[in-house]
């Protein structure tokens, strides 16, 4: 399987680049399988299939968002700890547990509405080596 | 997310390395999410979340295996088109559709029995460039 490198993530949809609380974005959600459980995410945390986590293209790690499956109205709160998606029209990749709460494991990708709850401060810029 | 490179796949359990029809292997099954749908597998085929496909460490691409969820007795036939798993005790990574048939999407990883149905001939060795 060819995987995307972190630097290859395409630019996010314009609506999400400001990253303010209350901001709303609409598009498709995908989910992680159990295959990657325990592997490192872009934030350095390990992917935990039972945690409420997700990948977003631009929101700072630690940001909390509410994701609503617009097909059935179910919603879940997740914390951003990875970068993605790379799929066309994809706005968020959810952990298996979050996808289960949204009732999308059998359906596959579903349309969602994403609302930014609180934006985590961006990580400190790395200092240049002396 | 840090992904395994194809060359980093650890050696398979001894029981599956001979690759003969009728061979049986037991261990854990994981599954792919929808996140990777459309991306290339190690065989060159694209991952299709709705197809009955799977990743195995050593069996030649095109080999068909029967996978049985030993928790509920449900089984499915899949075709090997990718390399994996990298998880401890993992013997097969299943497509979302195959995992759905085994009733393991909510459960996560489950113990399975794998039976080799027919082994595909190994790919032709590549000719050296003139």
> Residue B46 falls within a domain, yes or no?
yes
CA distance A27 to chain B (A): 14
Per-residue pLDDT tens digits for B18-62 = 678 999 999 999 999 999 898 999 999 999 999 999 999 999 999
Is residue A114 assigned to a domain? yes
Contact list, B36 vs chain A (CB under 8 Å) = 1, 3, 33
Does residue B3 form part of some domain?
no
Quick one: pLDDT band at residue B127, thresholds 50, 70, 90?
low
**Contact criterion met (CB < 8 Å) for A2 and B99:** no
| CATH code (residue B71) | 2.40.40.10
Short-list B91, B86, B37, CA closest to B59 = B91
Which residues of B fall within a CB distance of 8 Å from A108? 34, 37, 49-50, 96
B124 pLDDT tier (thresholds 50, 70, 90): low
pLDDT score recorded for residue B18: 64
Which ipTM score applies to this complex?
0.77
Q: Which residues of chain A make contact with B41, given a CB cutoff of 8 A?
A: 1-2
Q: How far is B104 from chain A (nearest CA, A)?
A: 10
Task: Dump pLDDT digits (tens) for B60-79.
Answer: 999 999 999 999 999 999 99
The residue-averaged pLDDT of B122-126 equals 64
In this structure, is residue A20 part of a structural domain?
no
Which residues of chain A have a CB within 8 Å of the CB of B105? 96, 100, 105-106
Looking at residue B19, its pLDDT comes to 76
Cross-chain Cβ contact A35/B39 below 8 Å = no
* Residue B22 forms part of a structural domain: no
**Does some domain include residue A54?**
yes
Give yes or no for B61 touching A (CB within 8 A).
no
Range of the structural domain that residue A55 is part of? 28-118
Residues of A in contact with B50 (CB under 8 A): 108
Q: Quick check: is A17 in a domain? A: no
CA-closest candidate to residue A49, choices B112, B40, B105, B56: B105
Which of B1, B31, B108 is facing A42, going by the closest CB pair? B1
Q: In which residue ranges of chain A is pLDDT below 50?
A: 2-16
Query: Total domain count for chain A?
Result: 1
Show the tokens assigned to A16. Answer: 């999400």
A89, part of any domain = yes
Q: What pTM value is reported for the model?
A: 0.81
The DSSP secondary structure of A1-64, one letter per residue, reads -----GGGPPPPPGGGSS--TT-EEEEEEEE--STTTT-B-TTSSBP-TTS-EEE-SSSPTT-E
């Amino acid at each position: 399987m060819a995987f995307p490198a972190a630097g290859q993530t395409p630019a996010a949809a314009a609506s999400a680049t400001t990253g303010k609380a209350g901001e709303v974005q609409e598009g498709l959600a995908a989910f992680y399988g159990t295959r990657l459980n325990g592997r490192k995410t872009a934030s350095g945390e390990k992917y935990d299939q039972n945690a409420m986590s997700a990948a977003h293209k631009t929101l700072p790690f630690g940001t909390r968002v509410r994701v609503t499956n617009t097909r059935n109205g179910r919603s879940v709160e997740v914390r951003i700890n990875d970068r993605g998606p790379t799929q066309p029209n994809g706005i968020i990749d959810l952990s298996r547990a979050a996808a289960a709460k949204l009732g999308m494991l059998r359906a596959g990708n579903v349309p969602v509405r994403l609302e930014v709850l609180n934006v985590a401060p961006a990580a400190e810029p790395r200092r240049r080596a002396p």
